[in-house]
Amino acid sequence: MPPNTRVTQRMIADIAGVSQSTVSLVLNGKADAVRRIPSRTRDRVLEVIRETTYVANPVARSLVGAATGLIGVFTYEPAFPDRTSDFYTPLLTGIESAAERIGADLLLFTSTPVIGGRRRLFHESNRLRLADGCILLGREMDANELDRLLGSAYPFIAIGRREAADGRVPYIGVDYVAATHALAVRALELGHRRLALLRLSQTAESSRDRRAGILAAAAEAGVTVAEAEVTTGRCITDAWEVIRASRPTVLFVEDPSDARDLLAHLAATGTAVPGDVSVIVLGEHNRNADGPADATRLRAPRAELGARAVGALTEAMEARRTPVPEGASAPPPVQILLDCTLVGGATLAAPAA
């Protein structure tokens, strides 16, 4: 084939000695094609595709095991509703810029069914194999699906630390334990001894890590932490009322939206921040208008998370195409935690005398 020749289905049909409709059926990969076309004919068509590097159809390239140049992105929660898009936007920005640098296209999987309020990666119309590998995003991920992905040897990388599948999941995450520990130590050094945590449920690793850092710092100082969970259907003010009797001098609030609502409630009830109580937010909104103004908070490197995930996935895809020497053991999964930035705001001060 001369260089720079655009291979067409007609060319493939002529080389394989079949009709163009036969080539089309093979490329579609549908069940009726398997029944109607003899296996030897199908194999011959696929061999011609392999030899000519038919690039016009990523489906064809995936059928013959060639790289498609596509990186998949799957989110367990919708990426674009108002509340979650604020979190996902920097991640997707980092993913996009890194994919652009390596000349890859992105494929966002949106046809997955929602079961039990959560998207499912595996289903009867799964198109995962259209991409060379996939980046997974979500506060919570299905442990069974992660285990199934590992068993398939399909390249993927999760954003966020994951404990599923006996710790074998590759990920790029944030070191929330160290970050919240540092924030709690800062509060303790200012003289706070009555700490409170208004948190989300502990089903996600990120929530458990945030809590672990605070509890560790409190234990080191010999103090306890009052806790209340902000559950679905329960507003942040309800959680505040649960721990109010403990008279905390500093509140750690996990969710930025909850922190915004709590600060508004405290202002409306005449509670001065930080005069009467300090507030530390364990996250940050992408849009300042949606979050508490000038709050002491954590800032996760979300754009860097996305970019690093593309880099790690690219390395995994390359490794998959490189045979492992006989007798050699597989390398450990990539598991990297990035540092948070501690943003000093106006909501943390020494406790009142």
Residues 21, 22, 27, 32, CA torsion sign: positive
pLDDT at 85: 45
CATH of domain 9-63: 1.10.260
Contact in structure between 347 and 273 (CB atoms under 8 Å):
yes
Question: How far is the CA of 211 from the CAs of 77, 201, 218, 227, in angstroms?
Answer: 23, 11, 11, 10
> What SS3 class is residue 316?
helix
Domain ranges of the chain: 9-63, 70-174+303-338, 176-299
Residue 276: which pLDDT band, with cuts at 50, 70 and 90?
very high
What per-residue string of b and e applies to 250-269 under the rule 16 or more CB within 10 Å gives b?
bbbbbbbbbbbbbbeebeee
**Contact present, 87 and 115 (Cβ < 8 Å):** no
Would you state the structure tokens that stand for residue 237, as one six-digit string?
């003010």
pLDDT confidence of residue 4: 52
Let me know if the fold of 9-63 is the same as that of 70-174+303-338: no
- CATH class for domain 176-299? alpha beta
**Where do the H-state alpha helices sit in the chain?**
9-16, 20-28, 31-36, 39-52, 58-63, 82-102, 143-152, 164-167, 176-189, 205-221, 236-243, 256-268, 302-320
pLDDT at 80: 67
In the prediction, which pLDDT does 39 show?
84
Taking the C-alpha atoms of residue 276 and residue 205, their distance in angstroms, rounded to an integer, is 32
Q: Which two tokens stand for residue 331?
A: 């390398």
Task: Write down the pLDDT at residue 204.
Answer: 93
Q: What is the pLDDT of residue 309?
A: 97
Tokens of 90: 């920097």
Q: Of the candidates 59, 81, 80, 79, which has an alpha carbon nearest to the alpha carbon of residue 70?
A: 59
Pick from 125, 117, 127, 167: nearest CA to 143: 167
Confidence of residue 84 (pLDDT cuts 50, 70, 90): very low
C-alpha distances (whole Å) from 180 to each of 115, 131, 244 are 33, 37, 22
Residue 202 banded pLDDT, cuts 50, 70, 90: confident
pLDDT at 13 over 50: yes
- 116 vs 112: CA distance, rounded Å: 13
Q: pLDDT class for 88, splitting at 50, 70, 90? A: confident
Q: Is the dihedral of CA 164, 169, 172, 177 positive or negative?
A: positive
The answer to whether 135 touches 313, Cβ cutoff 8 Å, is: yes
Helix (H) / strand (E) containing 173: strand 171-174
Q: What's the distance, CA 300 to chain centroid?
A: 13
188: its two tokens: 């303790």
Alpha helical stretches, state H, 190-204: none
The CATH label, of 3.20.20.70, 2.40.160.40, 1.20.1300.10, 3.40.50.2300, for the domain at 70-174+303-338 is 3.40.50.2300
Please determine, for residue 234, whether its predicted confidence score (pLDDT) is greater than 80. Answer: no
pLDDT > 60? residue 288 = no
157 touches 170 (CB < 8 A): yes
pLDDT at 342 over 90: yes
pLDDT at 222: 97
